């Protein structure tokens, strides 16, 4: 996940290569709720096949339970405001059936591995919004849990569109799977287009600075980029601050091995102490929407002051979550 840069680049791909800008919609709430089609797993490529097989294998162990979750997710997505074409896709390549399968696995992690406690979900406004959160954990499971919470707990359910790092489309197969599940490359153009269509957009202003920090830096907020604030001002979008407690301990890291990261063309190569995420207890806090006015082209000092207000609110919610939790795994 990434912060949104100040200057736009080429359009992000619906298929990893090219993305045409859709016509802007009036207002913030989509009126039509598209059905969730039953699309084949291969629409997401080889990783989609792997996702399908994982869900199927889980269903063998607990078929009735998995069937109930699948039906629950299908009903949530059917109730979510989204516009799909006759083939079940949106202009960015999102495909509801692939997202449904991913959310089945996400729900298992949400309820049984991370045992997520969510507060403040009622603060999600109607229409477009920017969800701005702290970022940590070496892999973006914090973003997955935020999205899962919005689908399971939101009224109505909302499926946030996450802004991804620029290098993600360079990964074979994953570049297709990420857009099928709703993520897009984090360009300003993509963000504006999504917001103009009334979407909920999820961004992490710390970027890899936050996600790949060492264990000794846990719960220390890194520098916030200014891009999200400029886009909020440009589109008149409310900002919902989100605090995630628990992700910082899921994969302790000794630091970033930068030489290897450069060799592999990756933004970071964390030296993790565990091969899989630990079952830490997640605590999500959704704050009340924050609305800002001003010129999106203002000097950095002016924009930075508004950014500091959002960062301070997230800091307050993090401190509250850390103070009230019973323990890392409790």
pLDDT of residue 14: 38
d(CA 228, CA 65): 40
- pLDDT for the residue 268: 77
Distance CA 296, CA 303 (A): 8
The answer to whether 69 and 107 have CB atoms below 8 angstroms apart is yes
Q: What is the mean pLDDT of residues 25-51?
A: 49
How many Cα atoms sit within 13 Å of 289 on the Cβ side? 17
Two tokens at 164?
């991804």
User: When comparing pLDDT for 25 and 114, which is higher?
Assistant: 114
Let me know if residue 38 belongs to a domain.
no
- Contact indicator for 35, 97 with CB cutoff of 8 Å: no
Rounded Cα gap, residues 232 and 225, in angstroms: 13
Question: What integer pLDDT is reported at residue 142 of this predicted model?
Answer: 94
Structure tokens at 27: 């207002």
What's the domain count of the chain?
Answer: 1
155-209 pLDDT, tens per residue?
A: 999 999 999 877 677 777 778 888 899 999 889 999 999 999 999 999 999 987 7
| Encoded tokens for 325 | 């939790």
> Which pLDDT value is given to residue 255?
84
Q: According to the model, what pLDDT value does residue 10 have?
A: 31
Tell me whether residue 270 is in a domain.
yes
If phi > 0 it is left, if psi is from -120 to 50 it is alpha, else beta; for residue 211 that is alpha
**pLDDT tens profile 222-253:** 999 999 999 999 999 999 999 999 999 999 98
pLDDT of residue 1: 53
| 156 prior amide bond cis, ω within 30 | yes
pLDDT of residue 236: 97
Supply φ then ψ for residue 45, to 5 degrees.
80, -170
Share of the chain above pLDDT 90, in %: 59
The answer to whether residue 76 is domain-embedded is no
pLDDT digits (tens, 9 = 90+) for 283-330: 999 999 999 999 999 999 999 999 999 999 999 999 999 999 999 999
**What is the pLDDT confidence band of residue 272, given thresholds at 50, 70 and 90?**
confident
Q: Is residue 60 part of a domain?
A: no
Q: What is the largest CA-CA distance in the chain?
A: 58
| Domain assignment of residue 291, yes or no | yes
How high is the pLDDT of residue 11? Answer: 35
CB-count exposure of residue 141 (10 Å: 0-12, 13-18, 19+)? buried
CA 35 to CA 66: how far, in whole Å? Answer: 21
Q: Which two tokens stand for residue 271?
A: 């030296």
Query: Helices (H) and strands (E) in the chain — how many of each?
Result: 10, 9
Angle value at C-alpha 124, between 243 and 289, nearest 5 degrees = 70
Give tens-digit pLDDT for 1-18. Answer: 555 544 333 333 334 333
Please name the residue that has the structure tokens 């797993």.
Answer: 41
Domain boundaries, position 294 = 116-324
Point out the least confidently predicted range of 109-118, 151-160, 205-214: 205-214
Beta-strand ranges (E) seen in 33-94 are none
Q: Is residue 169 assigned to a domain? A: yes
CA 7 to chain centre: 21
Which is nearest to 266 in space by CA: 214, 204, 188, 208?
A: 208
Do residues 179 and 94 lie in contact, with contact meaning Cβ atoms separated by under 8 Å? yes
d(CA 312, CA 294): 19
Would 65 be classed as within a structural domain?
A: no
| Residue 292: other Cβ atoms inside 10 A | 17
Instruction: Express each pLDDT in 51-96 by its tens digit.
Output: 666 666 666 666 888 899 999 999 999 999 888 888 889 999 999 9
pLDDT at 58: 62
Question: Per-residue pLDDT tens for 96-109?
Answer: 999 999 999 999 99
| Residue whose C-alpha is closest to residue 306's, from 208, 219, 207, 238 | 238
pLDDT score at 56: 67
Cβ–Cβ < 8 Å for 88, 37 = yes
In-domain check, residue 200: yes
| pLDDT given at position 31 | 44
Q: Is the pTM of this model over 0.85?
A: no
Are 226 and 307 a contacting pair, CB within 8 Å? yes
In DSSP terms, which residues pair with 235 in a beta bridge? none
């Amino acid at each position: 996940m990434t912060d949104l840069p100040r200057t736009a680049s080429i359009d992000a791909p619906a298929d990893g290569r090219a993305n045409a800008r859709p016509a802007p919609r009036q207002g913030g709430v989509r009126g039509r709720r598209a059905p969730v089609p039953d699309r084949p797993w291969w629409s997401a490529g080889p990783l989609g096949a792997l996702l399908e097989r994982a869900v199927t294998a889980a269903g063998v162990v607990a078929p009735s339970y998995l069937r109930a979750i699948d039906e629950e997710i299908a009903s949530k997505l059917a109730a979510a405001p989204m516009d799909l074409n006759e083939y079940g896709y949106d202009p960015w390549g999102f495909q509801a059936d692939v997202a449904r399968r991913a959310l089945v696995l996400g729900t298992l992690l949400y309820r049984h591995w991370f045992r997520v406690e969510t507060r403040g979900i009622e603060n999600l406004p109607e229409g477009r919004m920017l969800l701005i959160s702290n970022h940590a954990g070496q892999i973006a499971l914090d973003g997955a849990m935020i999205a899962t919470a919005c689908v399971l707990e939101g009224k109505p359910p909302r499926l946030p569109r996450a802004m991804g790092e620029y290098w993600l489309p360079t990964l074979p197969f994953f570049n297709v799977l990420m857009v099928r599940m709703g993520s897009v490359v984090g360009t300003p153009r993509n963000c504006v287009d999504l917001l103009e269509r009334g979407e909920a957009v999820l961004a992490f202003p710390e970027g890899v600075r936050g996600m790949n920090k060492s264990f000794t830096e846990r719960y220390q907020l890194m520098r916030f980029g200014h891009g999200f604030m400029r886009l909020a001002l440009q589109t008149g979008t409310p900002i919902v601050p989100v605090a995630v407690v628990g992700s910082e301990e899921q994969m302790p890291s000794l630091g970033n091995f930068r030489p290897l990261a450069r060799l592999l063309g990756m933004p970071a190569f964390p030296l993790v102490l565990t091969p899989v995420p630990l079952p830490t207890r997640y605590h999500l806090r959704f704050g009340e929407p924050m609305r800002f006015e001003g010129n999106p082209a203002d000097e950095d000092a002016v924009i930075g002051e508004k950014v500091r207000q959002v960062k301070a609110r997230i800091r307050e919610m993090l401190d509250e979550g850390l103070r009230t939790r019973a323990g890392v795994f409790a």
